[in-house]
Structure 1
Amino acid sequence: MNSRKAIVEGLIFMAGEEGLSLLQLQSLLQEVSRTELLALLETIKEEYSHDAKGIELVEYASRYKFVTKEFVYPYGEKLFEQFKKATLSQAAMETLAIIAYRQPITRVEIEEIRGVSCDVMLKKLQLRGLIEAKDRLDVVGKPLLYQVTGEFLDAFELETLAELPELETKEVQEELFVQNKEEQ
């Protein structure tokens, strides 16, 4: 049987940057009293307070979340510098361009334009924070609608999508903005 402390720890970790309030934790762990939950949170805080751990449990704005300890930041900066320097493949750039110019757009629509499966590419672009699945199309199957993120704008030094360059050739415009001519 998993310990309640491990469950609380896992839930807070899963919540990520948003964290969880005491009320949210109580609603998830109805079998645990408020007093016991507060004691569990204090135990977790204590366990993560030692320098042997790179993260700690904090409570900000009545929300519990894990954050990186200060002594880890110089290494984190190096890590993110490496990510920023990583380049995108041709396939990634094509997929990203289609999304930027046609957003919101479904995976199927992207695949129709590119002519190849793009599941893996969409996941990679999401992991890099360049695109997100923001909504679902209101049709059978409710496919995800993808769009670029603020991170995309930052990476390409754009204020808005209106600053994207004009498409140079009519052929490229037709590829991006017109579905298959047979459908018309």
Structure 2
Amino acid sequence: MNSTTLNIEALIFSSEQSVTIFEIMQVLQAAGEENVTEDSVKEHIESIKQKYDDANFAIALVEINKGYQFLTKKEHYQLVNQLQIQRSKKRLSQSALETLAIIAYKQPITKLEVEQIRGVNCDYSIQKLLEKELITISGKAETIGKPLLYSTSTLFMDYFGISSKSQLPQLKDIAAEQNEIGEKPE
């Protein structure tokens, strides 16, 4: 592997979020590398992907949210999941989860609209979600008072491994049979 490939690998590895080709190009150019093109970066990324496709590595280079990130391979899910359970002290409260779900499915949405859906004040939950960078302020509504609009962040997309709102689970995908009322038709 040449130094450019190693530099790209280091950039992706060191980033907490997915890194886009454009960001990689900017950093390499700022570091003084010459002949950095989109095609050359893609070639280097493909080389890195092939390296980590080997069964001797527990991680893989994955494209998510229009960028690249190192993630643990699926066969190590149970082990990594146990670690996450151990570290779950930083979990979101039930109210923050509810607020996040509403924002994810209805984005962009104002705080008032979230509160109308939940039926309670959401100031604290929205503040915590902003602090954890799971949501962002995406603009202002064109209504009286110009309230702030909230949307999910790229960190949210990275965390859940999705690229767009359309990849969120649909209600029909998660509805359980025990939640049905009445007898089943035969």
Shorter chain as denominator, the TM-score bin is 0.3 to 0.5
TM-score by length of 1: 0.45
TM-score by length of 2: 0.44
Higher radius of gyration, 1 or 2: 1
